[in-house]
Structure 1
Amino acid sequence: MYRLHSFCQSGNSYKVAFLLNALRQPWEPVFVDFMNGATRTDDWRESTNEMGEAPVLEDGTRRLTQSGLILSYLARKHGAFEGRTEAEKLETQRWILFDNHKFTSYFATYRFMKAFGTSAPDPAVMGWLRGRIDAAFSIVDKHLQDHAFMVGGEPTIADFSMCGYLFYPQEESGYDFTERYPHIGAWVKRMRGIPGWAAPYDILPGERLPVRW
């Protein structure tokens, strides 16, 4: 059985949990107390992940980190959601890199600062992040205008990667992407229809926290 070191506020953890469910693979959640600094301790970094990040996937004696790599590993191992052709597999990786660098990166940071930051976020920083979010979401919304999923005609790990933070309550980010980007909104509904889908707070360990700002 897989073991997934994770916590419920982490959309990157959710990406992996959602894929494991879609693959119908049993997995055990291992709670990471990220909000109270567990990943910043020397002991955790030495024993679990030197990068100080979640998720961490254990597959027997193998331990993997970074959600994009974990998704790629699982797709290849189980022969699903990787893309059917070599061209599709390369395109899937292209979108995962875009997601990690821009699509998820800016949105996840914005959400964290608003919902869970220890101090009120700087309006200038939030404004800058909002502009970057708008730019990345516009690119994806335009792409999805003519595509049911990010690559090919069926979901791939690019979709699992890019939707990871979009199932959290809107109040956590204050960003109504479904109103401004209807093609992303429709795509998220299609992802919700994949067998194995469940909301992040229903399948990941930890407790839902109130929004701070």
Structure 2
Amino acid sequence: MTDYTLHCFLQSGNAYKAALMLQLAGADWKPQFVDFINGAHRSPEFRAINDMGEVPVLVDHTQGDLTLTQSGLILWHLADAFPQFAATNPVEHREVLRWILFDNHKMTGSLSIFRFLKVFMNKGDSPEAQFMKGRMVAALKTLNRRLDGRDWVAAPHCTIADISLAGYLYWPDQSEIDLADYQHIAKWLDRIAALPNYARPEDIMPASAEV
């Protein structure tokens, strides 16, 4: 048995945050496909695992099959097991938490909805989608300013805050993001991609049950 099982599917940026963390840490883990597109997350069987009916779900077999949901909490838990991605002092601790909250509320909270409406619902030009795109652009500008003159978001080293914020940004075309407009973000994404064990979403998360 592996140390971790991650319930996920390829198109989920939130699942990629957890998968990327496991991958970068060199963890012993395996993906478990969730057929989200066809509603498997709403099934009684899946809700028995996660009553929120969402992906990702991490099962930590090293702690008696401890089951965790929500990408931010999963990253926080994994940082205890892999402290090279954790904060090293109270100041960094606060900054890591601050930027994970920013990601969940501002970055992922807008980008993921715009991407879903555009790519999966073919409603990218709708007023709702354009509203979320505006919020996404504002969040990207904030992150780009933050990375001006620094390599990482919350500390002198890569932390779970970086991994969280990067989760949806490796599909820029799907979200109408031109990284040439955000040069500090582009260089930061390259730094993450240069870390040992890095892998893109399609290389570590299943697109179907057969993968």
User: Structures share a fold, TM > 0.5?
Assistant: yes
The reply to whether residue 145 of structure 1 matches residue 109 of structure 2 is: no
Q: 2:160 aligns with which of 149, 157, 162?
A: 157
The reply to whether residue 94 of structure 1 matches residue 98 of structure 2 is: yes
C-alpha deviations, 1:154-199, integer Å up to 9, x for none? 100000000001112x3322222x1211111111111111111111
What is the letter of the counterpart of residue 135 of structure 2? R
The reply to whether residue 132 of structure 1 matches residue 130 of structure 2 is: no
Residue equivalent to 1:210: none
For residue 80 of structure 1, report the CA deviation from its aligned partner.
Answer: 2.1
SS at match of 1:5: strand
Residue equivalent to 2:27: 25
Q: TM-score, normalised by structure 2?
A: 0.92
The percentage of aligned residue pairs carrying the same residue is 42
Residue equivalent to 1:211: none
For residue 125 of structure 1, report the CA deviation from its aligned partner.
Answer: 1.0
The alignment's C-alpha RMSD in Å is 1.3
Paired residues of 2:56 and 2:69 also in contact (CA < 8 A): yes
Residue equivalent to 2:181: 180
Distance in structure 2 (CA, Å) of the matches to 1:114 and 1:150: 28
What is the letter of the counterpart of residue 180 of structure 1? D
Distance in structure 1 (CA, Å) of the matches to 2:151 and 2:185: 10
Matched pairs, number: 203
Distance in structure 2 (CA, Å) of the matches to 1:91 and 1:148: 14
Q: How does 1:1-213 map to 2 (within 5 A)?
A: 1-45=3-47, 47-60=48-61, 61-117=65-121, 120-121=123-124, 123-168=126-171, 170-176=172-178, 178-207=179-208
Q: Which runs of 5+ in 2 are unaligned?
A: none
Distance in structure 1 (CA, Å) of the matches to 2:184 and 2:125: 31
What is the letter of the counterpart of residue 48 of structure 1? I
Distance in structure 1 (CA, Å) of the matches to 2:175 and 2:130: 13
What is the letter of the counterpart of residue 163 of structure 1? A
Distance in structure 1 (CA, Å) of the matches to 2:177 and 2:72: 24
What is the letter of the counterpart of residue 24 of structure 1? G
